[in-house]
């Protein structure tokens, strides 16, 4: 099966399984989504949602988060991995958004990636889900499945992102990246599939004999 044929099957199957793609991180606005994505690094969405429920009640905006202070921010998120660093970054980025951007989350990759704790993936999530700018944020699930589905060699997430952008129609990027994440969590997890177990892997590669060893993101 050719790569373009696999792409068509992936689009069709994921749309059948996930016609709706709600953002898995709970948020109230652009700022709280940005914070939630920063906090989600090396943490589960479920845990982030548990801890931000109270945090966002008291600090739903950049000015209120900044005024809350690093120590208080830390007290809400201390159960997360890298919580001390995350608290510092949330405080610093809140201050910058408050003072430099008048409490409005910037809507460009360059400005977002200039904020503490905000890398390209985080900026891509915000650009795609808040500002509807076609983006393809690559997390560990997307990086893994892209290799299992023969869409990239998976040397790094930058290459994976570029390969996916070349293969899939631009108007599908924002939804498709969530559909792939959902499928990776539910059916094609790191330990639950090896490239020849889940239904989609078997459909794309019916004659695959050897397990696929994926490179990490």
Catalytic site residue from 45, 64, 78, 139: 139
d(CA 87, CA 207): 49
139 is catalytic: yes
* Per-residue pLDDT at 1: 85
* Per-residue pLDDT at 215: 86
pTM: 0.92
Q: What is the phi/psi pair of residue 87, to 5°?
A: -60, -45
Catalytic site residue from 64, 88, 121, 209: 121
In our burial notation (b when 16+ CB lie closer than 10 A, e otherwise), range 118-130 reads bebbbbbbbbbbb
Start-to-end CA distance of the chain, whole Å, equals: 26
* Domains, the chain, with CATH or none: 30-129 (1.10.340.30), 136-204 (1.10.1670.10)
47 is catalytic: no
pLDDT score of 87 more than 80: yes
Tell me what the mean pLDDT of segment 41-69 comes to: 96
Token representation of residue 46 = 């479920």
Residues near 211 by beta carbon (within 8 Å), at least 6 away in sequence = 194, 195, 196
pLDDT digits (tens, 9 = 90+) for 132-157: 999 999 999 999 999 999 999 878 99
pLDDT digits (tens, 9 = 90+) for 165-183: 999 999 999 999 999 999 9
């Amino acid at each position: 099966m050719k790569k373009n044929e696999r792409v068509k099957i992936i689009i069709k199957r994921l749309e059948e399984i996930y016609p709706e793609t709600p953002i898995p991180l709970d948020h109230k606005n652009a700022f709280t989504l940005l914070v939630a994505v920063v906090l989600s690094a090396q943490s589960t969405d479920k845990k982030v949602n548990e801890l931000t429920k109270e945090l966002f009640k008291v600090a739903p905006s950049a000015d209120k988060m900044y005024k809350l202070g690093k120590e208080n921010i830390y007290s809400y998120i201390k159960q997360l991995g890298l919580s001390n660093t995350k608290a510092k970054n949330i405080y610093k980025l809140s201050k910058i958004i408050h003072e430099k951007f008048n409490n409005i989350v910037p809507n460009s990759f360059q400005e977002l990636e200039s904020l503490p704790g905000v890398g390209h993936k985080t900026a891509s999530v915000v650009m795609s889900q808040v500002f509807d700018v076609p983006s393809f944020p690559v997390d560990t699930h997307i990086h893994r499945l892209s290799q299992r589905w023969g869409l990239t060699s998976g040397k790094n997430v930058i290459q994976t992102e570029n390969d996916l952008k070349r293969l899939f129609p631009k108007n599908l990027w924002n939804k498709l990246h969530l559909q792939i994440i959902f499928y990776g969590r539910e059916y094609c997890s790191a330990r639950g599939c090896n490239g020849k177990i889940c239904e989609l892997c078997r459909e794309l590669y019916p004659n695959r004999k050897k397990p696929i060893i994926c490179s990490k993101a």
